[in-house]
Structure formats: C-alpha cells, structure tokens
Structure 1
Amino acid sequence: MHVAVLSDIHGNRHALEAVLAAVADGPAQEVWCLGDVVGYGADPDACCALVAEHARIALAGNHDLAVTGEIATDDFARGAGIAAEWTREVLAAEHLEWLRTLSAAGQRGGVGLYHGSPRDPVWEYVLSTLLAEMCLDAQAERVALIGHSHVALAFHRAEGEPATGASRKAGEEVDLTTGEWLLNPGSVGQPRDGDPRAAWLLLDLEGARATWQRTTYDIEGAQAAIRAARLPHSLADRLQYGQ
C-alpha cells in the first residue's frame, strides 16, 4: 500500500489543495496527516474540511491544540499566538469539535505516527542526530513518522551503529528494509528548508521505500488570504522564501 504523508498544513488551503491534487494523480491509497491542520494560514475551515474528508488518520499538532484550548499559547511566538487566537474566533464549531477528537500520536500499518516526536508528541523538534537517537530508543515501531519542524528529513540507525540523518530534497528516496527510521515529510503549508513548494512524503509500505515530494502551489494566493485576514504580514512574507 502507498500512503501520502502530510504534515504542518497550517491553514494554507492553496498548498493543501495542490498537494491533494498531486496525491490523486499518484499511487497513494491513503492519506495520513501528522497534525497542525490549522495555524498560520487564513483558511482553517477549508483545511479542516479537506483533511477530514481525505485523511485516513489525522493527528493533532500543537497549533491545533492551542486553538481547542488544550494548551496555552504562552510559549508561542507572537505571530503564532495571534494566528491561534484568530483561528479560534473564526473556526466553525463543527471543525473545532473535529480538532478536539484528534490525538498527537497514533499508529497505522505498523508505523508510529507522532506530531512532534516519540518522546514528546506535542512539542519536541527533532533536528539533530542526538535527539533522533533518543527518539529511536523511545519509539516502539521500527519506522516512525514525525512532523512539527517543517523540515523534510530522515534519520536512520543501523543495528549496532549510531544514528545518522540529513535533510531531504524533492525526489530523494530511501530504502526502509533494514534498521530503524525516523522520517519527516516536511511542511505542506509553511516549509522551512529553503524550498517554498509544499512538501510531503510518498510511503510505500509493501516495498519499504519512502520518497520525498514537492508540489508547486499558488503562493501569492495564500499570501493574499493572510493579508486579507489581517494576520501578521510576516506570516505571508515568509512563504515565498520557504523559511
């Protein structure tokens, strides 16, 4: 079975629609979402509706939990906090209730699913081999998927060896047959690895392979929506730089 793995959509309808169209043209039979359906973008209702319709499994990210009130925004950056409060005010009741049904961790097809990390599904950013080593020790599954950092990457640990890791570009593929793995698809709605295109991962469960994908979308449209909503302009500006 092929799976399209999405994360960190952040209310960016333009990016999500483009990715779902690309997914529909490919071999994926399921869509998995690793959380932060809402966040910085101006179309939280549309993104909730699309994920609820298309994703076989969806997790809650820290921005989702902030909007539902399950966590405080005290540790959020200023723009993130403003966006969370705005989203809470405009989000339809049915989508708020749907977000409340989501958890930050799960499992499907023998793969561990976490928004942040196996050690801390809500908050931990896994961007170093040291943290990856500790997460690989903590995860119950041989292969796990994480989001949260907005960076497409993979960490691998062969038996008896320390973990290694690297960011991943569009089209890069890894063989998951042996060893332990921690994979991040990157962000659909706000990539932070220098590539502004929407990022996602195609996972082949039977073939034990993962391939990183990038999809071009209407960045100007997403920026215009953020500005029209009177959200901080920095949230719009950064989209064109992938930062």
Structure 2
Amino acid sequence: MLLALITDLHANRHAVSACLDDAAQYSPDQYVFLGDLVGYGAEPGWVVDTVMHHVLEWGAIAVRGNHDAAAVMDGPSGMRPDAQTVIDWTRPRLTPIQRDFLRDLPLTAELGDCYFAHANPWQPENWEYVLTGGDAIHALASVPHKVIFCGHVHDPALYNLSSVGKLGHYLPVPGQGIPLAGPRRWLVIPGSCGQPRDGNTAAAYALFDTDTLTLTYRRVPYDVAGAVAAMRAAGLPEVLASRLERAG
C-alpha cells in the first residue's frame, strides 16, 4: 500500500493543490493528513473541504493539529499573537460543518505498523514538538509501531532507533527512496506542505510504501506569490506572508 503523507497544510490552497497533484501521479492507495489544516494561510475553507472530501469519499486518514483545535475552541488558544490573529480571522470563516469536522478529528490514528500524530505520540494533546534526539527517543519509546509519522515540526527530518538503543538522525534528500527495512524503528517528519521553514519554499510531503518499506520525501514547487497575495489581500499579519516568501 502506498501512503501519501501531508502535514501542516495551513490554509495554503496553492501548496496543497501542488502536493495533491504531485502525489496523484504515483496513485497512492491512502492519503494521510497529519494535522494543522488551518492557521497562517488565507484559504481555510477550501483546505478543510478538500481534506474532508478525501476522508469522507476516499477513506483518507486525518488527525487534529493544534491550529485545528484552536480554530474550534472559544477564546484564546495560548498561541503567539500573530498565530492567534489568524485563528481569530479563521473562526468566522468556517462553516458549522467544517468546524464539526475539525472538532471530530482524532488526535492519533494507526494503520498496520504505522502510527500517526500531529505533534508527538507521548502526549499528543499537549502539542509538544519533536526537536531533539531526546524527543525522538521519547516518541519511539511511547508506542511499539515500526514507523511513527508526525507533523508540527515544519522542517523534514528522519530518526531511527536500533535494537540496542542507538539513535540515528538524518536530513532526508528529496526524491531518493529510503529503505526502512530491518530491525530499526523509525520516526518520520515529512515537513510542512503549506508553511515550509527550512529555507526551501517548495511544499513538502512524503510517500511511504508499506509493502517495500520505502520512504520518499518530496518537494514540490508551487505558486508562492499567489499564496502570499491571498494572505495580504485578507489582511493577515505581514510577518507571516513574508515568512512564507522566504520559507524561514
């Protein structure tokens, strides 16, 4: 089974469309959306509707991110002021059906020997990041699955843990298949589709073949100028539009 894993879409229609178009050429059997459908970007309704269609019509897997949770709660979310500004802007632009969809998303999901969460597997509701080797070890110790997939961190990363507890950390090269066979267990962070922050403006996602245990990171150029123009037209914080332009 070929999985297409897309995370941190962040209401960026241009980036999401580009990743879905790129993935379609590989005919994935299952789409997995690792959360943060909304926040930062200017087209939350389109993105939520698109993911909802994949879930309801095609059986895609989707989990809830912290921005999704914030968009359907009342009052402040504890986010930084710019992020909260976008959440406040997003809330009245979601329909009741879209809000119910975000509210009902699970925090985690499983498929065979794969585990999916937005932030981490040890306390997914607290939105702690996997930023260090220690965090990766904590994540891999929290569930028994062969491969853990997380979003939340916007830079692509790959960790593995050997049978004797030795941790490996890699910066993946896009387009190169990585075999995940053998006794090692793996933690995969595909990188952000709608809000890349590693200096590469191209949208990020990943493909994983559960039969051959081959992982491939993908980077997809998209209309960044169009996404930025939509943010500025909506009056969203300029710092967020500028950050999207420089991907950092």
Aligned twin of 1:177: 181
The SS at the match of 1:134 is helix
Q: Over aligned residue pairs, what C-alpha RMSD do you find?
A: 1.4
* Conservation of the 8 A alpha-carbon contact between 1:223 and 1:239: yes
Cα deviations by residue, 1:134-170 (Å, 9 ceiling, x for unpaired): 1111123121100001111110011103212123231
The SS at the match of 1:183 is strand
Aligned twin of 1:191: 196
Aligned twin of 2:9: 9
Aligned twin of 2:25: 25
Cα deviations by residue, 1:167-200 (Å, 9 ceiling, x for unpaired): 3231233211121100011000001111110000
Alignment counterpart, residue 238 of structure 2, candidates 209, 217, 233 = 233
Cα deviations by residue, 1:78-109 (Å, 9 ceiling, x for unpaired): 11110111111211221111111101211113
Please give the residue correspondences for 1:106-121 in structure 2 after superposition, counting only pairs within 5 Å: 106-121=109-124
The structure-2 alpha-carbon separation of the partners of 1:71 and 1:177, relative to structure 1 and needing over 3 Å to count, comes to: farther
Write the letter of the residue equivalent to 1:150.
H
Alignment counterpart, residue 125 of structure 1, candidates 126, 129, 153 = 129
Query: Take 1:101 and 1:165, find their aligned partners in 2: how far apart are those partners?
Result: 34
Query: Take 2:124 and 2:169, find their aligned partners in 1: how far apart are those partners?
Result: 20
Aligned twin of 2:145: 141
Report the CA distance between 1:5 and its aligned residue: 0.2
The structure-2 alpha-carbon separation of the partners of 1:70 and 1:4, relative to structure 1 and needing over 3 Å to count, comes to: farther
Alignment counterpart, residue 214 of structure 2, candidates 198, 209, 214 = 209
Query: Take 1:167 and 1:181, find their aligned partners in 2: how far apart are those partners?
Result: 13
* Conservation of the 8 A alpha-carbon contact between 1:6 and 1:185: yes
Identity of aligned residues (%): 36
Runs (5+) with no aligned partner, structure 2: none
Please give the residue correspondences for 1:143-158 in structure 2 after superposition, counting only pairs within 5 Å: 143-158=147-162
Runs (5+) with no aligned partner, structure 1: none
Aligned twin of 2:98: 95
Aligned twin of 1:58: 62
- Greater CA drift, 63-72 or 103-112: 63-72
TM-score computed with the length of structure 2 as normaliser: 0.94
**Count of aligned pairs:** 242
Runs of 4+ in 1 over 4 A off after TM superposition: none
Write the letter of the residue equivalent to 1:77.
R
